[in-house]
A and B are shown apart, each in its own frame.
Chain A
């Protein structure tokens, strides 16, 4: 058996939450006063992931399938050390890194250039390392003329260009990807795809959550089907996709 990069052992994740009573001012406007002053929502514990056990071995590229709310993103964040399991354990032999929502952590009031430094620092670079990379980041983003404007004046596409250009300087050992990053115009899209494939080929492991089966087939070797926070199937990606399509309505 080859050495694992990341191994999850019987991992559970639950979170305390509140649930509004079924009867509320939404169903009866007369309740507006009593709801505001007297309503106590019931506290409950929601299980997000249940009994998750699997391992990512060197060279494996695992695709995660599942319907909306199945726990795909949650699982990736858990592996990316943003969350911690409530039960069970995760062992690491490699450092994972997620390209989740790349625009998280961007400060809208700061300029493009300032954001390159801010995000760069958070990605683990020192100031001098960022200084060396600024030029290539700017070239990749194609935002040369807008660097000194605050990011909140950018269009959605420009924001994405900036965020992606900064993030894509990193080459993680294990890449966690929540949906393929793709937006902006065709030219930038192909730029993203090219660089992302490069990053994936350098990495020693990949976990990709996606609804795009063609993409999963192209990119991944293994598949993992999630439903309501539980693993329903693991195996080769083709079989995982067939399993998912067959049982889609019951998952």
Chain B
């Protein structure tokens, strides 16, 4: 798996250029173009932020930055999982045309989500300025968190795409998984200091999404850095890569027959 990945990484044009053209195509006939990538999460954050601060009486200047970062990272995560579940089916034509290095497809998928993410970072910056989040970006701590996010994206893409190609129920299950994940992870709610903000909060430590999201958010907001989440996330990433590696070796060419 890593050989193929290294090979694909050496030819960034092969996945970056294609992803870029796909973006061009999506927005070619729209008036606002790529502004849409920013507009729809912006509207969601504004509306929900307003609503929740009224309902829960929480502090706007704490809650909205918290939710903004959470929502945008969550969008990245759900984009990866959602796209993985249909990756092989969507790529059939290219697989049949003789693209044999499957890492190319995974990198394209991640590049697509990453380009969206980078656009939406503008919202995070704007929110941080508006609510005067102290600009002490713990940059050194943000780097491992983002790197881990990308590693997670890679192994999930490999593993989930193969499983979903074999068992079509998995594609149907994805929606459910993402909905529950969204609610179970502190995106639109805040865990209290003890980490037990609600009913779901008691299971927070068992929620892998939380451990992936929290280091990113904490590094930007400058809150107490969750080193234990970073550790748990690293361990999950390691196991994920190992299992994905086995699946990649054994099943990727079979997946082409399953679609």
Chain A interface residues toward B at CB < 8 A:
13, 15-16, 77, 80-84, 86, 97-98, 100-102, 104-107, 109-110, 114, 117-118, 121-122, 126-127
Contact = CB atoms under 8 A, between A and B. Distances in A.
Contacts of B24: 110, 114
Interface string B70-84: 000000000000000
Nearest to B98: A98
Given A15-B258, A83-B256, A97 B98 contact: yes
Taking chain A's interface residues, is the majority helix, strand, or loop, or is none over half, making it mixed? loop
B98 A110 contact: no
B179 interface: no
B48 interface: no
B257 A121 contact: no
B99 interface: yes
A127 B13 contact: yes
B18 A121 contact: yes
Query: 9 closest A-B pairs (Cβ-Cβ)?
Result: A84-B253, A104-B97, A105-B97, A15-B257, A109-B25, A105-B94, A104-B93, A81-B100, A121-B14
A117 B22 CA distance: 13
Taking chain B's interface residues, is the majority helix, strand, or loop, or is none over half, making it mixed? helix
Contacts of A118: 17-18, 21
Interface residues of B, number: 24
B96 interface: yes
B125 interface: no
A100 B256 CA distance: 15
Contacts of A15: 254, 257-258
B95 interface: yes
Contact of A82 (B11, B17, B18, B100): B100
A106 to B, nearest CB: 8
B21 A82 contact: no
